[in-house]
Chain A
Amino acid sequence: MPALLELICPAGSLPALKAAVDNGADGVYLGLKDNTNARNFSGLNFDAKSLAEGIRYAHGKKVKVLMALNTYPQPATLARWHQAVDTAATSGIDAIILADPGLMAYARKNHPNLRLHLSVQGSATSYEAVNFYRERFGIQRAVLPRVLSLPQVENVVKHTDVEIELFGFGGLCVMVEGRCLLSSYACGDSPNTFGACSPGHAVRWQQTPKGMETRLNGVLIDRYADNEKAGYPTLCKGRFDVQGETYYALEEPTSLNSMEMLPEMARLGIAAIKIEGRQRSPAYVAQVTQVWRAAIDAVKKDQAAFKPNPAWMAQLNKVSEGSMHTLGAYYRPWK
């Protein structure tokens, strides 16, 4: 039976992985402690020991483990990415999530049985792109960027036999996923190579008489009054002076929450729903996984009668950036 609405949850640490597994994830995704993945933050992610224990724990409860290797290798350090693919293949990882075609070719050639998923960082938004990766590298699933409306997603689904995974909840990128240069512009580190947007070394927070200031590599990107909610220290979520007016010139800090579209996603045969947040704590993973498990179970039981429970939405808003949510691009009248 093809996969339908598998719940894929983030794990930045072993306790987070266990929280996902214990609260009903069908799969967890994780990364290694280096720049081979796009959540390369200090102290986060898995080493050989925690990876082995994580896989043992998840597989013991019939939960899949996916490994994100979704940055773009650089010539001088290519061996690190190859080694990471080899590690995934030999340690029992169920699928690797890739963005770089060169790495897909390597995985295909050396580990033909290893399942490949196309990362959101691959930025494939059309069925032609998805099918290209299928034909050339045999990818079995594609994670679509959060830039498509649901009718556009439907158009992709109709024209491919690659499984489609959509984001369900979590931090929202500005609408050029996998191609964003904002962090690179401010800090010299690109998420696609360094493995992190707004890396910790470039971020400074300071409480001042005017409010809490966020600086990225010395550049003031926001100043919050005492009663204002804060967002992640990324350029896209900063407030800027534009022709004498200071406002969120790119996007507002908010989280994606597509729960009310679950019945439609079920109808389209969406294979999996991804929860964002490998940088977050086990407490977040436990809370969000629990809510989404309940929601997906409810949709599978009765698509027509499904309505997001207000208590679930409140729980999700509580952990959201800016403490609010949006349907993002999934629902929009323009194309």
Chain B
Amino acid sequence: MNLPNFPKPLARLVATLPSWPASRAFVAAGNLVAWPSLRELDWSHIAGRRFRVQVSDLGLNLYFSVHANGFRALRNGLADVTFTATAQDFARLALRLEDPDTLFFNRRLLIEGDTDLGLMVKNMLDAVELETAAAGMPVGMGRVVMKLRQLALH
């Protein structure tokens, strides 16, 4: 089973959102869901570096940085490294269903700016065990994530 594409009318709506509130919402969700399993990692080489996640099919740009206490939204629209992909491909990457190099070969993932920073983050996230990450998520969320992955695998 494939994950569904983002519905077009909804995508058009999302594209109208300014990036600052969207970045803040993304960061709040990230701190709630993902940070518990990421806080153990050594972020010292990355603290303060500026990331931009560009969700191409939604026309959505998320700007944030990572610090010892979690993600922080950024307002000024500058980035050291930019990741560009569709919402579905980002979801498939997050659920570890897709290999980033494969997406890159197929031109579905683009990393612009500081490549080494992008590689480092990719490799650090790859080293996190999904089961452990799911266990650290708020009640119920982890189960939903693992279930989604199972559904997509079969």
Point out residues on A near B: beta carbons under 8 Å: 12-16, 18, 41-44, 50, 199-201, 203-207, 212, 224, 226-231, 253, 279-284, 287, 318-323
Contact = CB atoms under 8 A, between A and B. Distances in A.
Interface in B116-139: 116-124, 126-130
Interface of B: 84, 96-102, 104-107, 110-112, 115-124, 126-130
Contacts, number: 99
17 contacts: A13-B127, A43-B123, A201-B115, A203-B115, A203-B116, A205-B110, A207-B84, A212-B110, A227-B107, A231-B105, A280-B101, A281-B96, A281-B101, A282-B96, A284-B101, A319-B102, A323-B106
B102 A318 contact: yes
Contact of B116 (A18, A201, A323): A201
Contacts of B111: 205
B139 to A, nearest CB: 24
A153 B63 CA distance: 53
A287 B101 CA distance: 13
A283 B115 contact: no
Most buried by B among A15, A227, A279: A15
A246 B121 CA distance: 34
Contact of B99 (A14, A203, A283): A283
Contacts of B124: 43
A41 B119 contact: yes
Given A43-B126, A228-B107, A319-B101, 20 more contacts: A18-B129, A42-B123, A43-B119, A50-B127, A200-B116, A200-B117, A200-B118, A201-B116, A204-B115, A230-B107, A253-B105, A281-B99, A281-B101, A282-B96, A283-B99, A284-B99, A318-B102, A319-B99, A319-B102, A323-B105
A253 B106 CA distance: 12
A203 to B, nearest CB: 4
Contacts of B130: 15
Contact of A320 (B100, B105, B120, B129): B105
Given A229-B107, A283-B97, A284-B102, A44 B123 contact: yes
Contact of B107 (A16, A42, A224): A224
Nearest to A286: B96
Contacts of A230: 104-107
Contacts of B100: 281
